[in-house]
Structure 1
Amino acid sequence: MRTDAFLAVMHELVAFVRVAESGSFSVAARQQGVTPSAISRQVARLEKAMGISLLQRTTRQLRLTEAGLAVLEHGRAMIAAAQSTLRVAEGHVGAPKGLVRVSAPKAFARHLLQPVLLDFLRCYPEVDVHLLVADRPVDPLREGIDLVIRLTDDPPQGMVARALLPVQQLVLASPAYLASHPPLRSPEDLMGHSCLAIGEQACDSRWRFTRGQDSVDVTVAGRYTVNHSEMRLEAIEAGLGIGCVPDFVAHAALAEGRVVRLLPEWTFDTNYQGMASLLFASSRHAAPKVRVLIDHLVARLQPVHPGP
């Protein structure tokens, strides 16, 4: 049977499955909301289209032929698949429901995203979230991620970017370190201090500062290099030297006086800061579950004010 011919008798297939499962034309007719004779004609049309006998009819009972048993098995699977497809579609129209996959850098996810996602899950009990925490570049289209948070002003082709909040790197030291080392009045003074670099790239030990039209480049050195912002903050608090940390990671330590912000009148110019953006596929028909999470993140993620 050609595929197009088979599609023309899909209603008949459903009728046959109902008859086979109930063992009665009358019961199947009530389930379908039609008359028993209409159900009988539908099954007959299916048998004619397939060129085989599916049922053996007697005055007392219906029996499935060998072919009927096989068609029943496959027919059930096809109906189940169709129902599953409709449930998938429900996640793209109507009320928000289903799974949303999100990716974000580790520190951002821990300090900023986690509380917002927990609040979202309380607000939308029919939506589930799978959070992938990764500092590596994530390809949302290839990896099946719905929303990606990344420091970028230039979204990849085929993606839309919604600005969330600016991320600033702050230069910090502990009060104990500052009390036992020469004062830091300008970026050039860093060359006389132990500095904690990120160490992911060769240029990470070359720090650039800007102030208005002025810019200063300083090559720093120190005993400890670590590309984990929370571990770098712990080393700074321990008095190991001067380091840079994202403002949202340093917020509590600054507020509690465990660290001090240095050179606040200068901007630390680095690739590890900028606008945190929410990336997602460009589509006029985003699923409600994705749209509500986008709106929630944009509304709830607010800039961090690091203080002095």
Structure 2
Amino acid sequence: MDTHKLIALMPDLATFIVIVDEGSYTAASRKLGVTPSALSKQIARLEKTLSVKLLERTTRKLVISESGNRIYKQCTQMIDAAKEAIEISSSEHTIPSGTVTIAAPKAFMSIVLQPLVKPFLTQYPEVNLKLKACDGDIDIIADGIDVVFRLTERPSEGLVLKKIGKANLTLCASPEYIAKRGMPTHPRELKQHDCLYLGETNTDHIWDFDKDGEQITVAVTGRYAVNHSQMRLKGVKDNLGIGLFPDFVIKHDLIAENVVQVLPDWTIRGNYHGDIALQYAQTKFMPARIRAVIDFFTLNLTL
């Protein structure tokens, strides 16, 4: 029997199970909200399709045939499987469980998200987290991502957006470096300094500044470039020059006075500057595990 015919049979098979369970056409009709004659027609159609006699009506009770009994046992497995599917889909939206894949820039993931992983897993013991550190563009559908964090002034269109904070780019240097080389008072003076940048592209040594409507672009130079925030910060602490960082990377070192801020009155524009954007695909039926991640990290994320 082909799939189309099998699918067409399923309502009649389900009706057959209800009739057997209820013990009569009348009782089954009350449960299903249809007339006994309509049920009788369904069973007659099913018997014709299967070429077996399923039920015998006597004056006192409904009798199931031997073939009908075998078919009933098989059909109950079908109903049990359907019930299990409904329970799974129901729990999918009420009980957080399963795997959630999160993508975020490397520094943001290690400094901001990583401390929240253990508390989240403790609170949601049936949820698994898969974190992907990525500083480039993310296609959440093609890359299998459930939730993505971006630091940007241009969040992705077509995705749900929650703005959960701001990320600013900040220049800093060690006190020893500033004592030796002097504190810059204008972005143009950076040309006389050693600067640490990412070295990922041909343009990431070009820094854009903005202050009170004045805009200036400076091409900086330096002997050390590395696309790892912690290594670049270590270079700054080792007096190798002035480095550019998202503010959350150097927050604690600024407080501890391990580094000092350079050109604090200027806004620096570039990658990792702008809103901290939490984004995910629009869906009418969001699994509870994804909702748990969104709510938990939104509530507990601190910068």
**Partner of residue 6, structure 2:** 3
The gaps in structure 1 that reach 5 residues or longer are 16-28, 55-61
Let me know the Cα RMSD of the aligned residues: 3.6
The CA distance in 2 between the partners of 1:153 and 1:185, in whole Å, is: 27
**Partner of residue 264, structure 2:** 264
SS of the equivalent of 1:221 reads: coil
**Partner of residue 125, structure 1:** 125
TM-score normalised by the chain length of structure 1: 0.74
**Partner of residue 192, structure 1:** 192
The CA distance in 1 between the partners of 2:209 and 2:128, in whole Å, is: 43
The CA distance in 2 between the partners of 1:209 and 1:298, in whole Å, is: 30
The CA distance in 2 between the partners of 1:201 and 1:247, in whole Å, is: 21
The CA distance in 1 between the partners of 2:174 and 2:47, in whole Å, is: 84
The CA distance in 1 between the partners of 2:291 and 2:258, in whole Å, is: 40
- In the alignment, residue 96 of structure 1 is paired with which amino acid? P
**Partner of residue 106, structure 2:** 106
1:147-158 correspondence runs (5 A):
147-158=147-158
TM-score normalised by the chain length of structure 2: 0.75
Task: Confirm whether residue 166 of structure 1 aligns to residue 169 of structure 2.
Answer: no
Q: Is the 8 A contact 1:153 1:275 kept in 2?
A: yes
Q: 1:175 to 1:81 in 2, by over 3 A?
A: farther
Q: 1:178 to 1:164 in 2, by over 3 A?
A: same
1:75 Cα deviation after fit? 9.0
**Partner of residue 18, structure 1:** none
Aligned identity (percent) is 35
Q: Is the 8 A contact 1:164 1:297 kept in 2?
A: no
- In the alignment, residue 177 of structure 2 is paired with which amino acid? Y
**Partner of residue 177, structure 1:** 177
- In the alignment, residue 197 of structure 1 is paired with which amino acid? Y
Q: Is the 8 A contact 2:14 2:79 kept in 1?
A: no
SS of the equivalent of 2:102 reads: strand
SS of the equivalent of 1:285 reads: coil
Q: Is the 8 A contact 2:208 2:218 kept in 1?
A: yes
1:91 Cα deviation after fit? 3.9
Q: Is the 8 A contact 2:195 2:241 kept in 1?
A: yes
The CA distance in 2 between the partners of 1:44 and 1:99, in whole Å, is: 47
Q: Is the 8 A contact 1:207 1:269 kept in 2?
A: yes
1:183 Cα deviation after fit? 3.4
The CA distance in 1 between the partners of 2:96 and 2:137, in whole Å, is: 28
Q: How many residues are paired up? A: 275
SS of the equivalent of 2:209 reads: strand
1:283 Cα deviation after fit? 2.7
**Partner of residue 236, structure 2:** 236
Q: Is the 8 A contact 1:13 1:43 kept in 2?
A: yes
Residues 209-232 of structure 1 deviation map (CA, whole Å, 9 limit, x = unaligned): 211112222211111111111111
The CA distance in 1 between the partners of 2:230 and 2:95, in whole Å, is: 39
Task: Confirm whether residue 145 of structure 1 aligns to residue 145 of structure 2.
Answer: yes
The gaps in structure 2 that reach 5 residues or longer are 28-41, 55-65
- In the alignment, residue 250 of structure 2 is paired with which amino acid? A
**Partner of residue 59, structure 1:** none
Q: Is the 8 A contact 2:164 2:298 kept in 1?
A: yes
- In the alignment, residue 196 of structure 2 is paired with which amino acid? L
1:264-283 correspondence runs (5 A):
264-283=264-283
The CA distance in 1 between the partners of 2:257 and 2:93, in whole Å, is: 50
**Partner of residue 89, structure 1:** 89
Displaced runs of 4 or more, over 6 A: 12-15, 42-47
Residues 53-107 of structure 1 deviation map (CA, whole Å, 9 limit, x = unaligned): 99xxxxxxx99xxxx89x96x996x678646633541344334333322221211
